[in-house]
Amino acid sequence: MAIALRLSRGGAKKRPYYRIVAADSRSARDGKYLEQIGTYNPLLAKDDPARVKLNEDRARHWLGVGAQPSDRVARFLDAAGIKERAARVNPKKGEPGENAKARAEERAAKLAEAEEAAKAPAEAPAEEGAVETTAADQPAEGGEAVVEEALEEQAAEAPAEEAPVEEAAAEEAAPEEAPAEDAAAEEAPAEEAGEEPAEG
């Protein structure tokens, strides 16, 4: 019969309470056991001495007759200084999966392309009067011809926008003067005539 030192769950739903037991490894988790050697209450604070209670003499006895502790009980035994727990080594634990590696490589390739695109305009001599463009403004594909066309369109649009503004200002000024002249002309004939309305 293989003996295991393990936890047997008790307590209510979402309120666990464990017994540390020596049991036949084939028996159910919460089934019958040979002996209870301690308790574990995970709801208590980690520094609370009542969190883990362990009968060290009985634990040493069961280890002496070949009982194998579960991982959690081995941690308790190591903390109590009864049996040293061998450190586990899993070199692949923090290693990302294949899909994550592929995504990381794609991101690195895109960053490298963006850096090269940013360096290219900086290395080229800047022309006088040219509008500076950043890597974000430039299209991913299409080259310098597309950038030159965009600059020409901007230059063509700028004078066209300025002319209507000047014409609008001139038109606004002219109508304001005309009503003032009309009002003066209307007042003048009435004064010149000097006629008073007939009294009746």
The answer to whether residue 11 sits within a structural domain is: yes
Tell me the residue range of the domain where 14 lies. Answer: 3-80
At 146 the pLDDT is: 60
The answer to whether residue 51 sits within a structural domain is: yes
Q: Decide which of 145 and 114 is more confident.
A: 114
At 81 the pLDDT is: 92
Query: Does the pLDDT of residue 186 top 60, yes or no?
Result: no
The answer to whether residue 94 sits within a structural domain is: no
> What mean pLDDT comes out for the span 26-48?
94
**Which of 80, 110, 127 represents a domain boundary (last residue)?**
80
The answer to whether residue 173 sits within a structural domain is: yes
The answer to whether residue 131 sits within a structural domain is: no
CB 80 within 8 A of CB 56: yes
Give the burial class of 17: count Cβ atoms within 10 A of its Cβ; 0-12 exposed, 13-18 middle, 19 or more buried.
Answer: middle
Question: What is the C-alpha to C-alpha distance for residues 71 and 90, in angstroms, rounded to an integer?
Answer: 15
The count of structural domains within the chain is 2
Range of lowest pLDDT (37-46, 61-70, 107-116, 174-183):
174-183
Task: Say what percent of the chain tops pLDDT 70.
Answer: 62
Which residue is it, tokens 């019969």? 1
> What mean pLDDT comes out for the span 154-172?
54
> Where residue 38 sits, what CATH number does that domain have?
3.30.1320.10
Q: Please give the backbone phi and psi of residue 110, each rounded to the nearest 5 degrees, phi first.
A: -65, -40
**Which of 80, 100, 123 represents a domain boundary (last residue)?**
80
At 128 the pLDDT is: 45
**Which of 37, 59, 80 represents a domain boundary (last residue)?**
80
Q: Decide which of 3 and 120 is more confident.
A: 3
The answer to whether residue 56 sits within a structural domain is: yes
At 106 the pLDDT is: 95
Beta bridge mates, 23: 4
At 57 the pLDDT is: 95
Question: What is the SS3 string spanning 158-178?
Answer: HHHHHHHHHHHHHHHHHHHHH
The answer to whether residue 128 sits within a structural domain is: no
pLDDT digits (tens, 9 = 90+) for 60-87: 999 999 999 999 999 999 999 999 988 8
Q: Decide which of 145 and 28 is more confident.
A: 28
The answer to whether residue 149 sits within a structural domain is: yes
Write the single-letter amino acid at 40. Answer: Y
Ranges of beta strands (E only) in 25-77 are 35-40, 52-54, 68-69
